[in-house]
Amino acid sequence: MTGNPSQPVQVLVLAGARAAGDPLCEAEGVASKAVIDIVGQPMLSRVLRALGASRANAPPWVLGLEGDALATAADGIACQPLASQGRGPASSLIRALEGPVSTPLLVTTCDHALLTPEMVDSFLAKSMASDADLCVGFAERAVIEADYPETRRTYLRLGGAELSGCNLFYLASPEALKVIRFWQSAEQDRKKPWRIAWRFGPLTALRIVLSRRGPDAVFALLSRQLGARVSPVTLEFAEAAIDVDKPGDLVLVREILAAREA
């Protein structure tokens, strides 16, 4: 489904807390990652500013924060609260799409503190040029490590490439829900790609893991299994793959932004 560049895009920012607690929040003495100070600004507000300066500039929905907590994290930037109603990001996203949120939809996370308007616009342009129901943003390992060899990311081996997720998703049509529902069932295995592949059966899992035909071929295979068109979108921004998930990430992100804004 090729997107219309002039069509308005809704935006959803995931900002829910982990059910088991977040060591990063405990270390920073805050209830939510969204309010962690990043060089003088709450982390969520940095994400909202980047979105507002991109073509996805409609007031975003923020899933998982409400009231004073959202007001503090947003730092005066317009956004719409949406209560979490699921046990994880996938189930909460499904509930949101069953309610006030609709496609086409850009999804990102509150800990994407290095997000820039250029990243958003590049991701949307490539996503809308595809015929996919769902696009997922990635950066290649070589791109990331060329600029930040010290960062430790989770890499997926897909079709011979090593890719790290960029916390950017574009849901072009309601068909994307088929993929989100699958992800809901596999969410606990997100750091274990082999287990996710195994859910399609041993033969398909082997084809996914052993393929050397490139990420597009792997996603074409996944699309046939899921009944919806899923496509990878590779970005040339190393920072797009660096979110704030661990204390080491927070140190690195603060250093990057302090240098960027000096």
Q: Is 253 contained in some domain? A: yes
Q: Do residues 84 and 64 make contact, with C-beta atoms less than 8 angstroms apart?
A: yes
How many domains in the chain? 1
> In the chain, which residue ranges form alpha helices assigned H by DSSP?
23-28, 43-52, 67-74, 89-98, 117-129, 141-147, 176-186, 193-198, 202-210, 215-226, 247-261
Q: Do residues 14 and 89 make contact, with C-beta atoms less than 8 angstroms apart?
A: yes
Q: Which two tokens stand for residue 93?
A: 């996203």
Domain CATH number, residue 81: 3.90.550.10
Residue that the structure tokens 């943003």 belong to: 137
Q: Is 104 contained in some domain? A: yes
Q: Do residues 69 and 138 make contact, with C-beta atoms less than 8 angstroms apart?
A: no
Model pLDDT, residue 188:
53
Q: Is 90 contained in some domain? A: yes
Q: Is 1 contained in some domain? A: no
Q: Is 5 contained in some domain? A: no
Give the structural domain span for 204: 10-261
Model pLDDT, residue 215:
83
Q: Is 190 contained in some domain? A: yes
Q: Tell me the longest C-alpha to C-alpha distance in the chain.
A: 53
Residue 164, C-beta contacts closer than 8 angstroms, at least 6 positions apart: 138, 139, 140, 141, 144, 153, 154, 155, 156, 241
Q: Is 3 contained in some domain? A: no
Q: How far apart are CA 88 and CA 202, in angstroms?
A: 27
Taking 50 as the pLDDT cut, the residues of the chain under it are 1, 194, 198-199, 202-206, 210
Query: pTM score, two decimals?
Result: 0.88
Q: Which two tokens stand for residue 217?
A: 């071929």
Q: Which two tokens stand for residue 213?
A: 């035909």
Model pLDDT, residue 213:
63
Write out the DSSP string of 150-165.
T-----EEETTEEEEE
Among residues 110, 102, 119, the alpha carbon closest in space to that of 53 is found at 119
Question: What are the backbone angles phi and psi of residue 158, rounded to the nearest 5°?
Answer: -125, 110
Model pLDDT, residue 187:
59
User: To the nearest whole number, what is the mean pLDDT of the chain?
Assistant: 86
Among residues 11, 111, 14, the alpha carbon closest in space to that of 57 is found at 11
DSSP state of 110: T
Q: Is 158 contained in some domain? A: yes
